[in-house]
Structures are given as C-alpha cells and as structure tokens.
Structure 1
C-alpha cells in the first residue's frame, strides 16, 4: 500500500480557515461600513444640535437686551464655568460690526474667524453655525470642535469592533465543529478505502454515507469486486498449479535419481544429474508458489493467543537436522523471552523458514555462521555473513522475483512472501547491511511493535 503524504494540504483545515477568514472579512467590512454611516449620521446630529442651540440662544439674548438694556444684560448673560465641566459647544455673541459682546467660558476671547453670515461654516478645528436677529443686528455663533465628533465616532467604532475580538474565535470554533462533523463521512470513507488490501476486500457500506459520496463508495465496491475476482483466480491458479506440479515433479525426480543410479560414470550420468538439479529447482519453485498463494489468502492472524518461541525452536531444529553442518545455524534465546500474540503459527513458520533458508543459501559459511536471535520487545534477528549490500540492493531484493548479486539458486519469492505475511501480522521486516555490531554481513530483523515479551 502506498502511504498518503502527511504533508498534503488538509481539506478540513482549508475549509475552516477559508470560511472563518471570509466571515471575519465580511464582519470587518460590515463594521467599517457601519462606522462610515455612523460618522455621517453623527455629523448630521451634531450639525442639527449646533443649529438648534444657536437659534434657541438668539431669542434669549435678544429678550435680555430688550428687557434690561445692553449695559445690564451683558453681565447677566455672561456664563460661569462649573467645576470639572468641559463645554462641548462654545458660542460668541457679536454685533453687526463684529465686536465681541458675550462668549461662553471656553470660547476664545477673540472673535471667531468666521464671516457674519447666517448658516454653517467650518475651518480646520471647528464647525460653526451663525444665527442672526435682524432688528437688533445681533449674531450668535455656536462652534463645535471636530475633535469631539471624532472622539464620538472613534468610541462608537471601538464599541462595534471589540465584540469581534470574541466573536471571531467563537465563530471559528463553531465552524471547526460544524466542518468536522460535515466532513466526517469523508474521513470514514477514506479509512474504509485505506483498509482495503489483498486480505480485506469486503464491500464498503454506502447506505450511511451522504448522497454525494455514495457514487464513490459504489465505484470502489465495483472495483473491489473485479479485483477480488482477479485475485481469487490468480490465487486459485497458483495454488492449483503448485499442488498439481508437486506430484509429477516428485515422480520425475524419483525416476531421475533411479536413472542416475543405473548409469555409469559417463556423460549420460552427468546429464541426468543436471536434470535432477533442474527438477529440484522446479520443486522448490512450486513450494514457494504454494507458500505465496497461502500468503495471499491472508493467513497471518489467529483468533487466539499463541506462543511463537516454540515455532522458532522447531524451525531451527528442523534446519539443523537437514543441513550438512548443524553448527552452522545457532539459536540465541534467553529462557524467559516470550513471543506471545494473536498470530498464526503456520504463517510465522513460513516467515522463519524463508529467512533462515535465505541466510543459509546466500550467506558465506567461511566467515560467520547463521545466527538467530530472539530478543525482548518482540524482536527476532537472523544474521549471516556476507559482503555489504548497498541501500539500493536492499530495496531491490524485497521485490517479487528479484534476486541480488549471487550465484546461489533461488526463486526470488522468499522476501516477498515474508513481507506479505508480516504485513498481515502487523509486524515489520527491516533489512540491514552491515549487520548490527559488525562491519559486514546481512541482517533480517522482524519487529512486532505490539507484541508482549
């Protein structure tokens, strides 16, 4: 199975980021537009208040002038400032000549630099409104600082923006929860598809999927059905071929051995020996094909806990009895070391046989014996002497029908079978060269990550 890239962009993350960013941008735009509208409305309100104040002051001032006269009215109309109070509106009362008659406490003591003309006028600091009483020739000019207006707009804008500091993160969390819940069926479908391999080709349940994903699940199920049919046909052919070939090959090998015994020491005997060698290779290939068909059938797991150290002892003992030099194969295992797990003993035996056979066939008997180490932590190591293999050679020999640079006989299927079975057993095969603790050699390491020891 080709692993997916962990660095690939996440659709969920992109959706959450895009929706949150778009929503935040729209909110900021709405608040910005609201601030502009609020500024216009506040200016209209302030202008209206400015005009109302000026027009209401005119009759009051004119009435005082008419009742008390200018000399007595001026002291009465002059305002006093309350302690701690800031005037937001200031005013001046002027006659037709422009002379300053009365002013508010915070108003400048010089006349405003604004014409004596009824209506609005402004400079860099103030917005003015001038009211005029024609019979008396009195002008009332009320001014409002732009700073006061800017402060009101700024406070209003802050009141709009501050909630966004809390609203945007809360909305982001809500969007994250909603998007995760929405795309959860996609993740479920991905995991279902990811779990499919030669040992698991059960159809995906499409009934619980959203309508948009059901065609994908149905297409995958159709593909799985076709692939299962093809693999079943391949397995059946491989298994049947291996079974059917074993008997005639064994018969031909027996006949050849009888022929060799009857022939003298001549060229015919040598040719018969070559036939015997070829038949042995063919028998070995048939055995490997049978193992491959069993590996493809998914026999790696068992429905109960098994102790695999007994399998190690049995396989090593069988090889020591069958090889010419039993001391060429050495087993290292502490008495308390255990390999217990829900694994098929038959599958583990096939794995060990292939790895030990490779070590015996391709290892250099003159340098080091083949050593099998059973270690704590679910580790089994098979080490043999050999020249150092490059990284590319270690990768190449794992492929089916691929063989390293060797003249020894072999089918090129052993490591492929081992890889397949260990994958079903949730174990890993690691190939190392040089071997651990050596400056040469080859090491095949079986690691059961979840195996109790």
Structure 2
C-alpha cells in the first residue's frame, strides 16, 4: 500500500478537483448563457438602431442597394480603435423593403436571402459559419436583419473561462505542496507514537498515553494498550507455568531417582522390589504431569478449527467406557441422565472429549469407595446445554473453588498436578461455556458446565 501521506494528499486533491471541475463547467455554461442573452439583446438593439437611422435618412434607392464594406486593417498603420476592428467581419446586417427588395446590407450579408431565417431570433449557416441572427419587421413594411457569428461569443466565453481557470491551474502545485505539508504536520503524532512503541522493551507492558495523541488515533492506542496488557498477562502466565512446571517435574523425577538409588543399594529382593515399585509410581505421575502440561499447552494455542455439531452423549458414553476399569476398582456406580434435546452442542470434539475425560477422571479418582458418580445432560429454558458431574467424595472448600481452576492449584485433598480442572476450564472458555464448582447434594463436588445454545 502507498504511504498514508500520499494517500491523504491524493484524496484531498481529488476531492478539490471533484468539487471545482463541476463548478468550472457550470460556470462556463452559465457564462455562455449570459453571453448569448447579452448578444441577443445587442442584436435586437442594433436592428432597431438601423431601422431608426434608415427612417431618418430616407429610404435608399431601390435600384442599387447600398453595401457597407468591412474595414480591413493594414499592418503597421493606424491603431484599431481609430479605423476599425478585424472582428467587423463577424457581424452583419440587412435592410429589405416591403416588396422584398434589398436596400442596404453589410458586405458579408450581401448574398443572404430574406427567407434564410424567420422573424425573430434564429440560427443559420452562412458560408459554413454558424450565425445568430435577429430579423425585425419595421412599420409592417420593411425588414431589418442583424447577425453575429458564434465564434466571437465563444471566444469571449473561452477568454473568461481561461481567466477563471488559469489561477486555479497555477495554484494547484502550490496547493499540493501546502496540502502535503499540512498532512505531514497532521500525521506527526503517528511518528511520535511509532517512536514510543519502538523504544519499548520486550517486558514493558504499561499502557501508552500522552496528551499529544489526537482523538482520532485513540482507538488504535486503546487497542495497542489492550494488546500490551494481554501480552503481559500471557507472559506472566508463561513464567508462572514454567516455574510451576519445573517444580512439578522436579519432585517426581527426584523421587524416582532416589528410589532407583535405593533399589541399587537394597540388601534384599523385597526391598529392591519395593523401591522399584515406588520409582515406577513416581515415573507414572511424572508422565501424567507431562501429558497434562502438553494438553494445556495445546489448548492455550486456541485451535483455529471451525465448530462442528458434536454428539455430546456419544462422547460421554465412550469416555465412561474407558474409565470403566477404574470405576470398577472403587466399586463406583455411574448414573447418567440425559435429555434428548441436550444431546448436541457446537464445538471441537477433541476438546470436548478432553473436558469430559478430566471431569470424569476427577470424579472417579476422588469419589468415595462404593459411592456414586452422577452425570446429567439437560437443556435449559434459554436453549443452553448443561452438563453436571457429581461425586460424593471430600469435595472442595468454598474458599478454594475459584483457585483450583488455576494452573497447578490443588484442593485440600488434592494429590494430582493441579492441571485437570484448569484444562477443563480452558476448554470451556474456548467453547464460550461457563464452568462452575459447587457442593453436591449429600456432600461431595458438583461441576456444572453450561454450553451456549446450538446454532444447528
């Protein structure tokens, strides 16, 4: 794209031209109309003048019409105002008797017949020239005709138009320079803003301000400040994530290494098997933490795939099948209640499966042995779909329910990495859904996820 300065300058000059050129055209048209009106009035006045002069001087001889010759200037002789003017050939006249005999005419109208034009104003061609003539009936007997070539009128109009346009044409370069200077001055705050942005450090995220910035770029500055704020928050989250991840990975890794050392130094096979089993459990926890961290990083990238219509009931049944063995080990009873209208939601099926898996895994992991896990899918009155997962385990204290949705935050009885609910909350956010924690009826934890109304 061309420079903003050149673009604004071209637009300003184009707007001026769009306004001035039609005005010049209209002015030329109005000027021609006025010149034609004035010329017609002069023709009528000349006709009456000739009629009056002929009447006072007497009628010329009928057998020899009087011809008035036009003056022709000789180069280097008297000035035009003394002898005449070359434009005399562009005007002419005739005087006819009542019996249609020419009595008096100018040299250039000598061969123009009386019926060449009707009484009044008319346009005629004389020797391939366009003339404007006025024919007057005098005393209901004689005829007077005067004419003027359109050339003279157009030359007057062109002269007036040139006088009007010449200053504009001469002033356009100066106007372009002034507009360019004004635009450059007007865009100076953008250069100031660019300098401020260029001078910022990567970790400098405070808002850009200043009274020098005009109102027109305040939306841009506000958007940039919002971007800086989001980038700063994202950077802080990444730093916290890195620090927490280092801690979460260091602990099981150090424990596994210690147990391996214990197994190497064990005196009996039983002690060796015990140390190796503890090392295996530590490595399993480490693998689970790494998997959850990768899953969270995946959903932090906000997938760009388009939403599709997902069968949430089918996804729920398949995830429950995968957790069947873990639920059977704890003798848990899984109860599912699903309304048919709440079967479908709009979203990404892989993300919804991860959300269901984490919520169900938490319910199975922390549910009391021999208890129940209750799952409900219901449609609300406003068309939303609500998913509820209830267990009857220790639950989460009300003061901790908000914090456990953050990364690496555990409840009072938490033994995991503190990422399961954070991943579920992030996926719900990407789907425009809300995730809330509450106490289940009869004790335990209830997780409610409210999805937006389906468009399909």
Q: TM-score, normalised by structure 1?
A: 0.46
Q: TM-score, normalised by structure 2?
A: 0.46
